């Protein structure tokens, strides 16, 4: 039996995944790597934040203009990440080194702002899945 996921459910699923990575990114590099279990942290955060289309599109219209701008700012900052700041690795210390790269500083600031602004969307997501 195949179940089709509607746009609202797809958005809230992506929102949860996206914001989980935003939460990690907003942490110190060491705490971020701990949170992500030190597995390929920089590359995975870069990948998941830059491929999240529904967060950029907001197809269900739940974000205000400021929230949409914060998402765009964060995604743009992460998209601009140089390859040497997001090297693929499964070595804990290398993940910490990657996340300590100065290029992550701007993205970390954007993540903190976005995280602080999304409480109302988190509540809507919780209601949707309850």
| pLDDT value of position 2 | 59
Residue 70 sits in which domain range? 7-119
Residue 66 lies in a domain: yes
- Assess if residue 130 is contained within a domain: no
Read off the DSSP letter of residue 52. -
Domain contains 125: no
| 111: in domain | yes
Counted domains in the chain: 1
pLDDT digit string, tens, across residues 4-43: 889 999 999 999 999 999 999 999 999 999 999 988 999 9
Is 53 a domain residue?
A: yes
Long-range Cβ contact pairs of 67-71 (< 8 A, separation 24 or more): 67/114, 67/117, 67/118, 67/121, 70/110, 70/113, 70/114, 70/117, 71/114
């Amino acid at each position: 039996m195949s179940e089709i996921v509607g746009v609202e459910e797809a958005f809230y699923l992506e929102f949860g995944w996206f914001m989980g990575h935003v939460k990690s990114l907003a942490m110190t590099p060491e705490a971020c790597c701990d949170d992500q279990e030190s597995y390929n942290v920089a590359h995975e955060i870069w990948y998941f934040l830059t491929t999240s289309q529904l967060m950029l599109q907001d197809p269900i219209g739940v974000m205000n203009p400021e929230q949409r701008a914060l998402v765009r700012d964060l995604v743009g900052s992460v998209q601009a990440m140089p390859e040497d700041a997001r090297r693929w690795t499964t070595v804990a210390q290398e993940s910490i080194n990657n996340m300590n790269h100065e290029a992550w500083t701007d993205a970390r600031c954007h993540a903190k702002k976005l995280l602080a602004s999304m409480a109302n969307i988190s509540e809507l997501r919780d209601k949707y899945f309850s």
